[in-house]
Each structure stands twice: as C-alpha cells, then as structure tokens.
Amino acid sequence: MSWFGRWRRARILDKHAIPPDAFRAVVERLPILHGLTADELARLREAASLFIHDKAFSAAGGADVDDITQHLIALQACLLTLNLSEDSYRGWSEIILYPDEFLRQREEMDEAGVVHHSRDILAGESWHGGPLVLSIADVAASGLADGFNVVLHEFAHKLDMLNGDANGFPPLHRGMDAASWARDFSAAYEDLCARVDAGEDTAIDPYATTDPAEFFAVLTEVFFETPHVLLTESPAIYRQLQQFYRQHPLARLESHAHA
Ligand code: ZN
C-alpha cells in the first residue's frame, strides 16, 4: 500500500472505527465468529470499519437501516475476506436493504424473440458490477451456525464475479490448482444433483443444484456455518474452500467449543 493509502486508512479508522463495545456485542451475537483469535478480531474490526465507510447502505421498501444491521453485514462480509486482499469488494459500492424478502420481476427475451416474465421472492441478490441487495430479516437470521447465511451467500457471489460472471470459479490464489478445483467442484455438483433428482433429503440445501455459481455460494455458507456438515458431505470441497478462504472454520469452532 502507498503512503497515501496507509495514511487514508489510518485516518478513516481513527475517525470511524466501530466502537469496541458495539463490535463485541455483534461478535457475541454471531456464533460463526466465535473462536477467532484476538488478532483476527482486531483485523476484522478494522476491515469492517473500512467496509462501512467505503460502501453506501441504502434503504428500500421502508427499511430501517440501523448501525446493528450495518455491523452484522460488515462483520460477516469481512469474515469471508479476513485472509484475502483488502480490496476484494472493489468495483461496486451500494448495498440496498429491504425490510424482508423482496419481489424481483424480470423480463427476458429468449433466442426465438419470446419475452418471458418471471417473479421471484428473494432474500438477497448480487449484481455484476452493481449493488448487492439483502433482506434485513434474513440478515438477522444469518450467522447463527445453523447453515443459513444470506450475507455470506451474496458476498461469495461478489468474490466469484471478480473474474467475470458468477460461475463457481473465482480467481484462485497462486499455488492453487485450477484443474483440481474444477474436478472437485464438478464431481460434488454432479453428485448433489443426482441425489436431489433421486428425491434424497440432502444435508446441503438443494438450491445449490441451480447452477455452479449457486453451488459455490451455498457451499460457502455451509463451510462457515456448519463446517462439520461440509467436511462429512464433501471433504474435497472443504479442502478447496479452506485453501481459497485461507481459513479452517471447523478447527476454530471446535477449539471454541472445548475452551
Ligand atoms: Zn445466489
């Protein structure tokens, strides 16, 4: 980082850091953060403070965007990137918040020139190069170590989109093998699709079978929320995500449980 970058960063943290008490209260509320070391928590507080300063939070549908909502989003977004580049969320700036699930209406023209209308009820949405949209009710239900996390899900799409459209293939780090990533993800995806098609009640949300981008986002939720489930279901994916996020959530949560 340039001297100007360091100066700007220090100045923002000096003026706008999340107050220690407020930070501790949000960490307490989010079991997926339990077990982080003091050093990791200090880095998370800095990253989350910079994140809130850099992003614009806007309300839609009469949403009440309070500090706690911003903290819940920032801490979980920055958990994903705790050991990644600090500018991982570059190239876009707006987070739009609805009070609850929201309706998206779309019109798409197919190759035959027919326009299709669709209506979806969504808890969150990520636009390539554009805003990230979240339902506050679903934000409040995320981070409880029960497997569901709309915040991690939508921000995982943002990481995936760092090298183009979301396709389940984010930019890998030096030393990671693209061929083994593709092989492991394809095999796990095909396996889950086959089990869902066969009517099996799977431990992984069947929404993951929508396409490879959703598979990556849903498995990111499982990796951080219920890592034991992912390690049991798909050890190869656990190891790939461990290399990608440079974190080992299972060891963290277990060390905390035994502490
Ligand atoms: Zn998604």
Q: Among candidates 149, 13, 162, 157, which has minimal Cα distance to 76?
A: 149
* Radius of gyration of the chain, Cα coordinates, nearest whole angstrom: 19
pLDDT at 102: 85
Model's pTM, two decimal places?
Answer: 0.93
Write the CB contacts of 145 (distance below 8 Å, at least 6 apart in sequence): 31, 32, 225, 226, 253
In whole angstroms, give the CA distance from residue 127 to residue 92. 9
> How far, in Å, from the CA of 88 to the mean position of ligand 1?
18
In whole angstroms, give the CA distance from residue 185 to residue 191. 10
b/e map of 94-114 (b: 16 or more CB within 10 Å)?
ebbbbeeebeeeeeeeeeeee
E-state strands within the chain: 56-59, 94-98, 102-109, 115-122, 124-126, 132-135
Which pLDDT band holds residue 105 (cuts at 50, 70, 90)? confident
> How far, in Å, from the CA of 6 to the mean position of ligand 1?
34
Rounded percentage of the chain residues whose pLDDT exceeds 90: 83
Q: Is the pLDDT of residue 230 over 70?
A: yes
Q: Is the pLDDT of residue 234 over 80?
A: yes
> How far, in Å, from the CA of 157 to the mean position of ligand 1?
7
> How far, in Å, from the CA of 134 to the mean position of ligand 1?
11
> How far, in Å, from the CA of 25 to the mean position of ligand 1?
28
In whole angstroms, give the CA distance from residue 50 to residue 44. 10
pLDDT at 116: 77
> How far, in Å, from the CA of 56 to the mean position of ligand 1?
21
- The whole-number average pLDDT for the span 56-66 is 95
Q: Is the pLDDT of residue 259 over 70?
A: no
Q: Which of 126-130, 164-168, 196-200, 217-221 has the lowest mean pLDDT?
A: 126-130
> How far, in Å, from the CA of 213 to the mean position of ligand 1?
7
Which pLDDT band holds residue 114 (cuts at 50, 70, 90)? confident
The amino acid present at 192, given as its one-letter code, is: L
- The whole-number average pLDDT for the span 168-195 is 97
Ligand 1 is an ion; residues with CB less than 5 A from it: 214, 217
Q: Is the pLDDT of residue 119 over 90?
A: no
pLDDT at 110: 81
Which pLDDT band holds residue 107 (cuts at 50, 70, 90)? confident
Q: Among candidates 162, 120, 131, 112, which has minimal Cα distance to 56?
A: 131
Q: What is the average pLDDT value for the chain, to the nearest integer?
A: 94
Q: Domains along the chain?
A: 3-257 (3.40.390.10)
